[in-house]
Structure 1
Amino acid sequence: MEEPAFKITQFVKRPDFGKEGPKLNVRTNYFEVTKMQNANFVHYEVTISPVVPRRLNWRIFNHLVDKYQEAFGDSRPVFDGKTNMYAHTKLPFGDIYNFEVELEEDAPVVRGRPLRKFKVRLIRKQEIVLEELFRFLRARGSRTNDCHMAITAMDIIISHKISTKYPTVGRSFYVQPQRTYPLSGGLEAWRGYFQSARPTVSGKMMINVDLTATAFYEKCPLVEMVAKILGKRSPNDLRRGLSVNDRHKVEDIIRGLKIKDNHRRGSGRKFRIEGLTETPASHTMFDRGDGSTIDVKTYFYDTYNLRLIFPFLPCVTVRRGIKFPIEVCEVLPEQRYIRKLNGKQTKEMIKFARQNPSLRANMINEGLNILNYRNNEYLRQFGMDISNDMAVVKARVLPTPTIQYQSSFEPENGAWDLRNKRLATGATLGSWSVLVFLNEDDLPDGVIEVFMREFVNTCQYTGLNVPNKHPPLSRANPIGNIEESLKLAWLKAGNTAKANPQLILCVLPEIVKELYAEIKRVGETIIGVATQCIQHEHMFKPNKQYCANVCLKMNVKLGGMNSFLRNIPFVGEMPTILIGADVSHPGENESPSYAGLCGSMDARASRYAASIRVQGGRDEIINDLANMVKELLKAFYQTCGSKPQRILFYRDGVSENQFEHVLKKEINAIRAACQALDDRYRPTITFVVVQKRHHTRFFPIEKKYTDRSGNCLPGTVIDSDITHPFEFDFFLQSHAGIIGTSRPAHYHVLFDENGFNADKLQILSYYLCYIYARCTRAVSLVPPVYYAHLVTARARLYSRQGVVKPELQRVMYFM
């Protein structure tokens, strides 16, 4: 069917500012641009040849400006390290100019030889009319190309000087710590600072400054790096050499690493590692050039009088097949680790990066000393002044909803427990079995029996009806045939209960991703049965709270409903479907992306159905959205007996520069889904982008508006001062802080046929955060988006052709 033409002229304008809730002031990590020049900026295109890394480009550029001062007049232009240069006025050399630059001898090795001479071409592209930015800030003009370019230029103005001094990634730069914070595997954590120019509703430009962190390789002898990668205490533990698996592991991590040799006098030559030899240095041969061969160990002794300490380790290979023993190489500093961190490293990085609000605010202010805006000659050149004080902005705390289990209550500080509470609608679990992936020595039958007694009692007490209190028990090998084991457990459940199996409770030996993934793949795409995994250590000391939390997940997997809101706004007024959408992208490999939708199935917005598609890697648009929405609309109709008259679509994972493209494509797809069901079916649509990957943080000022973690209270909302100059957006911190500084969600309404005002959408979005089915806390995102994220994460565990069985698609199997 041809896609209907559906004209979208602009994003929704802000209807009003919210009024609900007590008003307060909070600090935020925005710093006001107090002064800007009125004259137009000028944009130039920069071409540097030969092509070199970005860090070297800045060196070349700064050397160029210093050497050819007359050509630049009194201007000190700024450069993005790639192809864009901005000047505060038109430069005197005309529209095109070619320069030659010669660098000093300490240039790094690129493609085999020290680079010395570079050709630089500058081409004047356009004047950037700043009046268009000022009109945009005053809500009197749209975000034109000149407006966008002016904001981009400001990003480069504030970052140019700092980028020439420190390693830079995007809008962040990183500072080598005075005291190292080591991560496992030869890495260390560096703190950095993010900065970005932001237009705001106050009619001012602001600079958003935040902390960031990333991993760098340690500066150390390469042999120490190898030992740390393999988890050894010191290089002495490498004396047995490397196994094939160890060699592959090391090679994967150090390939591309920049090193220098240290076996000769002088500063050492610089190289980039291409790989490791399959043989140790004592057996790695090379041609001397006269037809004879020699091994690396002997060569280094004969030539440099150097007796290798680690001849049993492989050599590194660099350009033109040159080989060096690992022990004569040193890792060069300031090299960022660009691969994915493993589980242990991720935990270490989170611990390093996490700061409570007061400490984070102090560290951001310390970063201003490094940025040193007041003494930045480039800012002065462009007539810019930036305040050193964090902005104080207006906020409100939204009222807390009333939650309904079998009785109602109003939670305090965004959290509650399940004591004396029973599920709103408890499912019945009659046909099930327990599959244990441990032998009896590691987990005796007696321990399992005690746990199961407590677990079933807790489920009954919580409201999940379990008539079969003694499910059959099976054991399986965690590295055996998982599919066969699950099928046998499924048969046991059915034969015991004389009914179709509903659930298999799987007891895992530890956190084994491969085992968990296979259980979910087989259960959901082959057998068609819900599975619930638990860690075996919880069975030795049964805990009521843990058992109750597992019960929450099981209840919704079986079609039950844990809780709902007493008076849910908007959704309960007429048939309304909430849809959350997300796209999960691949990591370093070329695997596909997964698109997931979750749609509410009742007037209480507590039950959801899911739809999944596999699509091309890195494609942000949901390609088969029309059919996915159609599936959810059909499921809604079959569940409720009526078509939804309104659609509230929460879309995750979209950056600002993709708003227009995603909106146009996906609104048309939603319309197509409706018309495919009935030509006259035209529900009203609201399309809201939800963003968590941003750098806005709030810091409470008044103690009475602070929670136990030092964060702002759940329900804190900001829709003025730092939001868009005129579009409909707001920041909502819906959850209670636990550790570190809470990150609010940013909601941006791109399309609205339902006539939301600020209060109505803010309160609905906040209230929804209290009915996330698998925990007893308000969460940081609206549940439809959370669920869509869980669905795409689950889809990654299936084979590419894996499709969830129809019997599971109407329940929340992904919990």
Structure 2
Amino acid sequence: MSQLQLTDFVKRPGQGKSGREIQVRTNFFEITQLPNITIHHYDLTVTPDVPPPVNRRIFEALMNHYRDTDLEGAQPVFDGRKSLFSPKKFSFDSRVLDCRNDDNTNFHVSYNKVILPGDVNNKRSPIPVFKVKIKKAAVINLEELHRFLQGKCAMTNNCLTAIMSLDVLIRHKPAMAHVTIGRAFYTSAARQALSGPLEAWRGYYQSVRPACDKMMINIDTTATAFFQSGPLIEIVVKILGLRTPEDLRRTVPPVNWLRVEKAIKGLCIQVSHRQRAKKTLKIFGMTKTAARDTLFKLNVDPKDGSAPSQQREIDIVNYFKETYNITLSYPSLPCVTVGKTAILPLEVCTVIEGQRYMKKLDERQTADMIKFTSQPPAARANNIKDGVKLLNYEDNEFIKDFGMKISNEMATIRARILQAPTISYHGSSREANFVPRNGSWNLRDKKVAMGAVLGSWGVIVFGSEREAPESQIRNFIRELGISFVETGMNVANKSPPFMYANPQGNIESSLKNAWIQAGNAVKSQPQLLVCILFNTGTPLYAEIKRVTDTILGVSSQCIQVKHTREPKKQYCANVCLKVNVKLGGMNSYLAQGMIPFCTTKPSILIGGDVSHPQPGDTTRPSIAALVGSMDSKASRYAATIRVQTARTETIADLGDMMIDLLRTFYQTCGEKPTRILFYRDGVSEGQFAEVLKNEIAAIRAACQRLDINYKPDLTFVVVQKRHHTRFFPLKPSEGNQLGNCHPGTVIDTHIVHPFEFDFYLQSHAGLIGTSRPAHYYVLLDDNKFAPDELQELTYKLCHLYARCTRSVSIVPAAYYAHLVAARARFHARGDHFSDTVSSNSAGGAGEASSYASVKPDLMKVMWFM
């Protein structure tokens, strides 16, 4: 069978053989027995539309009533949205069932009607009626899946549906019992408070994956942030960073109720002032007035029944006293609005458990989350085993009914540890050529391979002289200049001018003044502005980068003021690595013969990525970035950027961006690249076909726009970081001090695709937690790489990341593209980084006009470092 028939991508050309072979455990669990039945696929539609948790309750009610009659005693499974899979055929092709809500605890079932729990507090409210329609969708024969796993047929829709059915099967029971988000379920058993009103919950991710001649289940620990449950008033206190609810009464400084409203809007609550079953309500906002000043009209029925009913005005405080005999403790606080008209005091509301926090965590919360999730390999492996025990596949009645069996032991697979490359620095270094150990090295007695010339530079301190005395700053700059020279840069002016500036003032004006001052000092164009900052906040940093990148066209280096107090050699050397490449220098390269792909023919390495706005942000566009290597050493890169419609993953202007880089390569090297190796970051498996179709066509078209006969060989590799595959050394001697696999660990057997060209490479030595390998997937390969060639080239390139002396987790071209896309987000005009920016206005490509272009001279060097 030809490759074209089997796959649209690249068929695996074999398995790699280079490196030292070892055995590792991985968090994949083999499906030892696939169902040998015909699986029946049904579409289940609930009207009106409700969220998946409610859908699951409706489904459960249906099963309780119909399982032994219409459903033939089957144990069907449901994805919470539309798909239902059954090991037995139902006795009908389609049926419409009405689900009527009656009470909160018991199901009352009659033919064609299932009564669901709900609200009985208000007897006057209509009881919701759900219409449930079950319709036959397909019949799944697993024989085709078996043939796919053996490499005898392509991935078909039938195979995809079969895999989906197994995915739903293993997730069904946990989803019915726990909070479920995507492919993971979370339990409150393992939780940790984060700063503010949040807490982190540990959960378990599980996914069915095709592998070589078998199906596997990938199980991993995961975590996400939830709102803490409990009295709403206490949540408000935590949002504001106060100590007790009494602090909410203060007027100096006044409480920021707009901040509170933004934080709690959308939260689901229950009320404590009603004795009957509690109703779930959603917060829509807050009143502008205090409870004692919030008035509404109340219907008053006449006692004698003769006169028509009247209305009287009453405030919230008196209403709760009259109606519920509750004296509010905080009458001066505003209330929350629920529904269209209902108003409730904060103190009678309780936040329900299990509500996910969807916004971006702040710095402290992120640090707390990292501590919670960073587990050494042994601890992570044990937690995964705990998850397997919790899942208890052996006693899962649904899995049994489908006839599937799953191993409880992690798979043990073959891996190889590749040899690290020889790295070269300047010939005058004490050890100019060396092979790093354990993925790291240092700059002691080394000089950068090609030092840049720094003639004109300036320093600007965004703070007062009282906070950072002039003597402290001058001492730091002197030490920094010495480090520049010691690491191989040529510094003409070791005493650059410096000035203080107001961090709340006009940043653009301050930077322009520093730029003019630096230029006047030596009568030449400034090359660098060193900016000393007193905080790690984004707004000031973003404005500095916007002005220096897009208005002044000068490289900038931001430094936290704490590093100026006692300058450390190691820190100054690390700053030198960044500054040298920003000015056009080269820090290191791989010794001769290490990367023949780049040296035997003119070749360019391309990295591509698309950065999307954070979830919930509808005002900002997506940003596409490309970087390209500019020499045969693959150490220096140029970049190009485009702004495009939000949430679009395909790079829209890829053709023009490729032309930018190919022209720059020609201007730099004097020849066209005959080979292109493109590393594409940020693409999920579901987008492979779209990327193959659109982006590869755009690259080819761009080459022919330059020259109709220009057809370089193209290899297109997707780099994936967001996955749950982990590796654990089988023997302690085969891991590093933290228990992780050694850098250079590569896997291309057992858990990879049955026949397409992909591999896992752990190229770095993780500093904390369990290292995550990168997953490389080859979609096109005109260059006909052998597995060893591509794996070794990729690993060696990971030692050339310019701003550190470590091998990194993904190939630098993809890493740089990610950095460029992130930096370009700072180039928007106006304040796009404060907490008050609206996220409700329409956005997209129209926002592109607010993004300024990087100055052309900077685009030829690594300004983004």
In the TM superposition, what is the alpha-carbon distance from 1:286 to its structure 2 partner?
1.2
Match of 1:457 in 2: 482
From 287, 311, 327, the equivalent of 1:277 is 287
1:692 aligns with 2:721: yes
1:512 aligns with 2:532: no
The verdict on how the C-alpha distance between 1:640 and 1:402 changes in structure 2, with shifts beyond 3 A counting, is same
Superposition RMSD in Å:
1.7
User: Do the aligned partners of 2:121 and 2:279 also contact (CA within 8 Å) in 1?
Assistant: no
| Runs of 4+ deviating beyond 4 Å | 6-9, 108-116, 241-245
Letter in 2 for 1:589: D
From 492, 497, 522, the equivalent of 2:517 is 492
Deviations 1:53-89 (CA, angstroms, capped at 9, x unpaired): 2111111111101101210002111110001111123
From 200, 209, 214, the equivalent of 2:224 is 214
d(CA) in 2 for partners of 1:348 and 1:333?
A: 20
1:122 aligns with 2:150: no
The verdict on how the C-alpha distance between 1:557 and 1:412 changes in structure 2, with shifts beyond 3 A counting, is same
Match of 1:801 in 2: 851
> Aligned with 1:72: secondary structure?
coil
d(CA) in 1 for partners of 2:511 and 2:121?
A: 54
Letter in 2 for 1:91: F
d(CA) in 2 for partners of 1:753 and 1:371?
A: 45
User: Do the aligned partners of 1:240 and 1:312 also contact (CA within 8 Å) in 2?
Assistant: no
TM superposition score normalised by structure 2:
0.92
From 757, 762, 767, the equivalent of 1:728 is 757
> Aligned with 2:357: secondary structure?
coil
Map 1:276-675; keep pairs closer than 5 Å: 276-289=286-299, 290-406=310-426, 407-566=432-591, 567-587=594-614, 588-590=616-618, 591-675=620-704
1:60 aligns with 2:58: yes
> Aligned with 1:168: secondary structure?
strand
**Greater Cα offset, 311-320 or 24-33:** 311-320
User: Do the aligned partners of 1:108 and 1:270 also contact (CA within 8 Å) in 2?
Assistant: no
Letter in 2 for 1:592: P
> Aligned with 2:678: secondary structure?
strand
> Aligned with 2:361: secondary structure?
coil
In the TM superposition, what is the alpha-carbon distance from 1:235 to its structure 2 partner?
1.3
Match of 1:234 in 2: 244
1:154 aligns with 2:181: no
User: Do the aligned partners of 1:137 and 1:725 also contact (CA within 8 Å) in 2?
Assistant: yes
Deviations 1:676-700 (CA, angstroms, capped at 9, x unpaired): 1000000000000000000000011
Map 1:2-17; keep pairs closer than 5 Å: 10-17=8-15
d(CA) in 1 for partners of 2:709 and 2:376?
A: 54
The verdict on how the C-alpha distance between 1:101 and 1:291 changes in structure 2, with shifts beyond 3 A counting, is closer
The verdict on how the C-alpha distance between 1:756 and 1:245 changes in structure 2, with shifts beyond 3 A counting, is farther
The verdict on how the C-alpha distance between 1:625 and 1:166 changes in structure 2, with shifts beyond 3 A counting, is same
d(CA) in 1 for partners of 2:297 and 2:453?
A: 76
User: Do the aligned partners of 2:121 and 2:276 also contact (CA within 8 Å) in 1?
Assistant: no
Letter in 2 for 1:197: V
Match of 1:3 in 2: none
Please, which runs of 5 or more residues in structure 2 have no aligned partner?
105-116, 300-309, 427-431, 829-849
Letter in 2 for 1:522: V
From 811, 830, 841, the equivalent of 1:782 is 811
d(CA) in 2 for partners of 1:693 and 1:273?
A: 33
The verdict on how the C-alpha distance between 1:108 and 1:744 changes in structure 2, with shifts beyond 3 A counting, is farther
> Aligned with 1:292: secondary structure?
strand
The verdict on how the C-alpha distance between 1:608 and 1:285 changes in structure 2, with shifts beyond 3 A counting, is same
d(CA) in 2 for partners of 1:40 and 1:114?
A: 43
In the TM superposition, what is the alpha-carbon distance from 1:346 to its structure 2 partner?
1.3
The verdict on how the C-alpha distance between 1:244 and 1:43 changes in structure 2, with shifts beyond 3 A counting, is farther
TM superposition score normalised by structure 1:
0.97
d(CA) in 2 for partners of 1:227 and 1:376?
A: 43
> Aligned with 2:597: secondary structure?
coil
Deviations 1:198-235 (CA, angstroms, capped at 9, x unpaired): 0002x000000000001111111000000000011121
User: Do the aligned partners of 1:242 and 1:313 also contact (CA within 8 Å) in 2?
Assistant: no
Letter in 2 for 1:518: E
Match of 2:836 in 1: none
In the TM superposition, what is the alpha-carbon distance from 1:702 to its structure 2 partner?
1.6
User: Do the aligned partners of 1:105 and 1:116 also contact (CA within 8 Å) in 2?
Assistant: no
d(CA) in 2 for partners of 1:172 and 1:102?
A: 30
Deviations 1:487-544 (CA, angstroms, capped at 9, x unpaired): 1111111111111110100001111210000000000111111110000010001000
In the TM superposition, what is the alpha-carbon distance from 1:340 to its structure 2 partner?
1.9
In the TM superposition, what is the alpha-carbon distance from 1:243 to its structure 2 partner?
7.5
Aligned residues: 807
**Greater Cα offset, 19-28 or 96-105:** 96-105
In the TM superposition, what is the alpha-carbon distance from 1:250 to its structure 2 partner?
1.1
d(CA) in 2 for partners of 1:171 and 1:703?
A: 32
The verdict on how the C-alpha distance between 1:82 and 1:465 changes in structure 2, with shifts beyond 3 A counting, is same
User: Do the aligned partners of 2:120 and 2:277 also contact (CA within 8 Å) in 1?
Assistant: no
d(CA) in 2 for partners of 1:114 and 1:557?
A: 67
In the TM superposition, what is the alpha-carbon distance from 1:382 to its structure 2 partner?
1.1
1:190 aligns with 2:201: yes
Letter in 2 for 1:806: P
Deviations 1:272-330 (CA, angstroms, capped at 9, x unpaired): 11101111112111112344322212222233232211112110000121111101111
User: Do the aligned partners of 2:37 and 2:402 also contact (CA within 8 Å) in 1?
Assistant: no
d(CA) in 1 for partners of 2:353 and 2:8?
A: 48
User: Do the aligned partners of 2:627 and 2:639 also contact (CA within 8 Å) in 1?
Assistant: yes
The verdict on how the C-alpha distance between 1:729 and 1:114 changes in structure 2, with shifts beyond 3 A counting, is farther
In the TM superposition, what is the alpha-carbon distance from 1:108 to its structure 2 partner?
5.1
Match of 2:22 in 1: 24
d(CA) in 2 for partners of 1:638 and 1:453?
A: 37
User: Do the aligned partners of 1:105 and 1:114 also contact (CA within 8 Å) in 2?
Assistant: no
User: Do the aligned partners of 1:109 and 1:271 also contact (CA within 8 Å) in 2?
Assistant: no
> Aligned with 1:797: secondary structure?
helix
**Greater Cα offset, 341-350 or 572-581:** 341-350
Letter in 1 for 2:192: Y
In the TM superposition, what is the alpha-carbon distance from 1:38 to its structure 2 partner?
2.3
> Aligned with 2:467: secondary structure?
coil
d(CA) in 2 for partners of 1:445 and 1:747?
A: 50
1:38 aligns with 2:39: no
d(CA) in 2 for partners of 1:111 and 1:29?
A: 48
Deviations 1:128-184 (CA, angstroms, capped at 9, x unpaired): 221111010000000000001100110000011110000101100001126x41111
> Aligned with 2:200: secondary structure?
strand
Deviations 1:691-714 (CA, angstroms, capped at 9, x unpaired): 000000001112222112210000
Match of 1:166 in 2: 178
In the TM superposition, what is the alpha-carbon distance from 1:16 to its structure 2 partner?
0.9
Deviations 1:100-128 (CA, angstroms, capped at 9, x unpaired): 23455224569995855322111101112
> Aligned with 2:472: secondary structure?
helix
Please, which runs of 5 or more residues in structure 1 have no aligned partner?
1-5
The verdict on how the C-alpha distance between 1:284 and 1:594 changes in structure 2, with shifts beyond 3 A counting, is same
> Aligned with 2:632: secondary structure?
coil
In the TM superposition, what is the alpha-carbon distance from 1:464 to its structure 2 partner?
1.4
User: Do the aligned partners of 1:424 and 1:561 also contact (CA within 8 Å) in 2?
Assistant: yes
In the TM superposition, what is the alpha-carbon distance from 1:423 to its structure 2 partner?
0.2
Identical counterparts, % of pairs: 53
1:683 aligns with 2:712: yes
